[in-house]
Amino acid sequence: MNDFWKRFSRNRSAVLGLLILCLVIFVASIASLIYPGDPFLYSQYPLSKPGENGFLLGSDSIGRDVASGIAHGAKTSLLIGLIATFAAVLIGVIFGALAGYYGGLVDDVLMRVTEVFQTIPSFIFAILLVAIIKPSIESVVIAITVVSWPAVARLVRGEFLALKNREFVQACHTLGMGDYRIMLKEMLPNCLSPIIVIGSLMVATAILIESGLAFLGLGDPNVMSWGFQISDGRSMLRVAWWICTFPGIAILITVLAINLVGEGLNDALNPRLRERN
């Protein structure tokens, strides 16, 4: 663990990413403390500039506090990102592991199913799903999960295919070990590193998809999110630039931070790249 941290911290930008990410998580977790009450609550000061009337980052067309929206939106974005990624990784690992381990017909069937999901452009597919199920926070999570798991399945399948014929796996067969035990206890730990890396990068994509959906008006109307804020302020971009800009910056630095961390994890977990820097 110490060794891992040493390797991770050698990548300066990854450490910076981690710091920003921690800051975002911190803001999200204290959102209800610093901005108690509903972020949808409007005041009598619409379109206040940043710093005016006690609004740190200004207010929007009906007087909602942009800063409060960003703080509460952070919670939404991170939660959706984490839950959707977790679900997608779970499904992807199951599909990929079974396909890679058993091969043959199982592999053919599972991979054709995966390909069906991969042929549809993921964002359009997500829009379609949310439009069908009705916009709510659950449907957004489901949509993101459905469009993201095939990448994990492909990755895990590849890893399992390579591991399947390794001698230590064959040795487990000769001991009479059961299939599920071999997959879970022997093979899976050996492909955790790439799964962690792809998972960390998927959180960033999930946040982007969620913002995109909310921007198109397909987010949960009762939950504050960054995408909703941008969507709400876009018609007033020329008179009140702050309504779109600050949530946009929030998305930018959060996604950037997660990508930096993901890349740092990749360098730290992949021993072959260790000497590159």
Partner 1 sequence: MTNSLLKISNVDISLPEGSERLLAVENLCIDLAPGETLCIVGESGSGKSLTARALMGLLPAPHVKVSQGQIDFCGEDLTKVTERRLREIRGSEISMIFQEPMTALNPVMTIGSQIDEIFRYHVSMSAAERRERAIQLLDDVQLPDPAQIVNSYPHELSGGQRQRAMIAMALALEPKILIADEPTTALDVTTQAQILKLISDMQAEHQTGVLFITHDFGVVADIADRVAVMQYGHVVETGTVDKVLNNPEHPYTQALISAVPSLLPRSARARSEETVLEVKNVNKTFGGGSSFFKFGKPSRVVDAVKDVTIELRRGETLGVVGESGSGKSTLARCIIRLMDSDSGQIILNEVNICDLNRAEMRPWRAKIQMVFQDPFASLNPRVKIGQIIRQGPIIQGATQEEAEARTLELLEIVGLDERAFNRYPHEFSGGQRQRIGIARALALNPEILVADEPVSALDVSIQAQILSLLDEIRTKMNLSMVFITHDLRVAAQVCDRLAVMRYGEIVETGATADIFDSPQHSYTRDLLAAVPGQHWER
Closer to partner 1 at the Cβ: 89 or 182? 182
How far apart CA 229 and CA 219 sit, in angstroms, is 11
If binding is defined by CB under 8 A, does position 273 make contact with partner 1? no
Give min distance, CB of 110 to partner 1, in A: 11
Q: Which stretch binds partner 1 (CB under 8 A): 36-44, 45-53, 178-186, 200-208?
A: 178-186
Counting contacts by CB under 8 A, is residue 2 touching partner 1?
no
Q: Which is nearer to partner 1, 132 or 275 (CB)?
A: 275
Q: Scan residues 89-108 and list those touching partner 1 (CB under 8 A).
A: 108
Q: Is residue 36 close enough to count as binding partner 1 by CB under 8 A? A: no
Q: How far is the CB of 4 from partner 1 (least distance, A)?
A: 14
* Binding positions for partner 1, 190-209, rule CB under 8 A: 190
Q: Does 176 bind partner 1 (CB under 8 A)?
A: yes
Q: Total residues contacting partner 1 (rule CB under 8 A)?
A: 19
Minimum CB distance to partner 1 smaller for 37 or for 178: 178
Question: Which residues are near partner 1 by CB under 8 A?
Answer: 108, 112, 166-178, 185-186, 189-190
